[in-house]
Amino acid sequence: TETPKVEQVQKVEKVKSSIAFTPPVIKKDSEVKPEEEMKTQDELKETKTAIGAFDVKGNDDAGGTVLKAVEEIAAPEPPKHEEEQNKIFEVVEQQPQFPGGSVNGWLADHIKYPVVAAENGISGRVVVQFVVERDGSVSQVRVVRGVDPSLDKEAQRVISSMPKWIPGKQNGQAVRSRFTVPVTFRLQ
């Protein structure tokens, strides 16, 4: 078995004096500590000391080394997939599409007019909202504007039984998106 190589941080015995290079950061004057003030180009040019990560009083300016900051490589942020995938978009670049064209035509063929509503002459438009999932399936079907409990229930049933849609897209990716469809009940 191979033992993993552990890189030792070398202890530096001989240290060269160095002057800190301060990367520019925009701050209010009152917030800048004197030791954090940026050196001018002239100051940097005229200094006999090396330019490093810290202000260091060295002990061997001829043979010493300039102290370096140990860089830690930041771990990349975890991808935001989980969050993105579960988000339901209200507006998408590419709307979900009903396969085979017209939703209304499909609904008209599949609605069973509730007998109770027909007998009582109840008609109208039930507005149903649902989520088209990334795989095109329909979920979270709910009545946004109802007419009568029997019509509302039938509208929910027929929407829930729809075939899979072509999902909506955002940045070229299939996403969950909300869709609203009016289901019209008309007595002949």
| CA proximity to 116, closest of 45, 12, 187, 179 | 187
Amino acid at 23: P
What per-residue confidence (pLDDT) applies to 28?
75
Delineate the domains of the chain, giving CATH numbers in brackets: 1-73 (no CATH), 81-185 (3.30.2420.10)
Average the pLDDT over 100-113 and give the result: 90
33-90 confidence digits (pLDDT tens):
766 666 677 776 676 666 666 566 766 666 666 666 555 566 665 555 556 668 999 9
Confidence of residue 144 (pLDDT cuts 50, 70, 90): very high
Contact 187, 118 (CB under 8 A): yes
| Dist CA 175 CA 54 (whole Å) | 49
C-alpha dist (Å) from residue 107 to 25, 31, 56, 122, 154: 62, 66, 79, 18, 11
